[in-house]
Amino acid sequence: MNKTKIKQAFVCGFPIAHSKSPIIHNYWLKQNNIAGSYEKIAVESENFNAFIIELQQNGFTGGNVTLPHKEAAFQQVQKLDEVAQKIGAVNTLWYENDILYGGNTDAYGFTANLDQYCEDWSKNADQKTAMVIGAGGACRAILYALLERGFSKIILANRTLKTAQKLADEFSDKILPINLEETSSHISSVDFLVNTTSLGMYEDDALPVDIKNIKSTAVVTDIVYTPLKTKLLKQAEAMNLKTIDGLGMLLHQAVPGFEKWFGVRPQVNQELRNLVLAELK
Ligand code: ATR
């Protein structure tokens, strides 16, 4: 059993140097006067299982799991929460009665960010159409969140149609899988648009989708936060659409983990956002 008084948490992944999670959790530890720690740990894939087995004896109360271990963590925890079960990936670990639990807070982070900056984004969702660009790992949490909020239709556009089709089969018959090239013929019906691909991170990236015919009331968001204003968000802004950047998702997804490990539900405030923003520059 762990006899350490200070509660210790971590984020593990490979590579891990870029992770902003320590900034977030160390800010909250300080703000709430909690004697705890949160550190980055580089764990390569072949060492992940051993790392998990030794977690508790190494004094950890829990932590975050990031790429490439989210699916391995899903396989290895003793219990999964309902959300992780559905998403098929774990990003948060904690112990309850010495049992290792795995949860997924990405869907929560996504909706909490939108709720913070655009209260009405999912109002009357049962009459709204969402479009999701990309069908990779990151997209699963987004689909979960949109279905939870009750969107009547979700158009899932991907370069590889088959991947989108698989997700539609797995998640819901509300999802219409289409090819990226077909987005233009659907865009005029879209109330909510989210990019889950890495397109837009680099200057010479193509736009993931042409939005010139999107509804003037549409809300546009991107889960990429480097740069904060992706090409898609810039274009949406130029069209006077409501836009929300992806940084808030990173901040909000950290909330449930901190609460589980350190017993206090932390606040996402402007000071924290500025702190992380400064590190992105
Ligand atoms: P992750 O699993 O972390 O989300 P990923 O497996 O690289 O990352 O998938 C990211 C998504 O971005 C996928 O939907 C991918 O499309 P494919 O399924 O066709 O591979 C999409 N994507 C990545 N680069 C792209 C590009 N240059 N053009 C269009 N889509 C792209």
Q: Which two tokens stand for residue 199?
A: 């397109």
Q: Report how far residue 178's alpha carbon sits from residue 184's, in angstroms, rounded to the nearest whole number.
A: 11
Do 176 and 154 form a contact (C-beta atoms < 8 A)?
A: yes
Span 94-116, pLDDT tens digits: 999 999 999 999 999 999 999 99
Q: Which atom of ligand 1 is the closest one to the Cα of 180?
A: 29
Q: Provide the pLDDT confidence category of residue 208 given band limits of 50, 70 and 90.
A: confident
Do 146 and 132 form a contact (C-beta atoms < 8 A)?
A: yes
pLDDT score recorded for residue 4: 52
pLDDT at 87 over 80: yes
Q: Provide the pLDDT confidence category of residue 206 given band limits of 50, 70 and 90.
A: confident
Nearest-10 Cα torsion for 247, 251, 257, 258: 160
Name every protein residue with a CB atom under 6 angstroms from any ligand 1 atom: 134-138, 158-160, 163, 197-199
Distance 201 CA to ligand 1 centre (A): 12
Distance 138 CA to ligand 1 centre (A): 9
Q: Which of 139, 159, 175, 182 to mutate to test the pocket of ligand 1 (most atoms within 8 A of CB)?
A: 159
Span 115-157, pLDDT tens digits: 999 999 999 999 999 999 999 999 999 999 999 999 999 999 9
Q: Is residue 28 classed exposed, middle or buried when 0-12, 13-18 and 19+ CB atoms within 10 A define those classes?
A: buried
CA atoms lying within 13 Å on the CB side of residue 136: 11
Nearest Cα to Cα of residue 100 among 86, 90, 115: 90
Annotation says 79 is catalytic: no
- Which one of the listed residues 7, 20, 40, 70 is annotated catalytic? 70
Walk across the sheet containing 129-133 and list its strands: 175-179, 153-158, 129-133, 192-195, 219-222, 242-244
Helix 21-31 / helix 255-262 crossing angle, nearest 10 deg:
50
pLDDT score recorded for residue 205: 86
pLDDT score recorded for residue 237: 98
Helix 106-117 / helix 137-148 crossing angle, nearest 10 deg:
60
First to last CA, the chain: 42
Q: Which of 104, 110, 198 to mutate to test the pocket of ligand 1 (most atoms within 8 A of CB)?
A: 198
Nearest CA to ligand 1 atom 8: 136
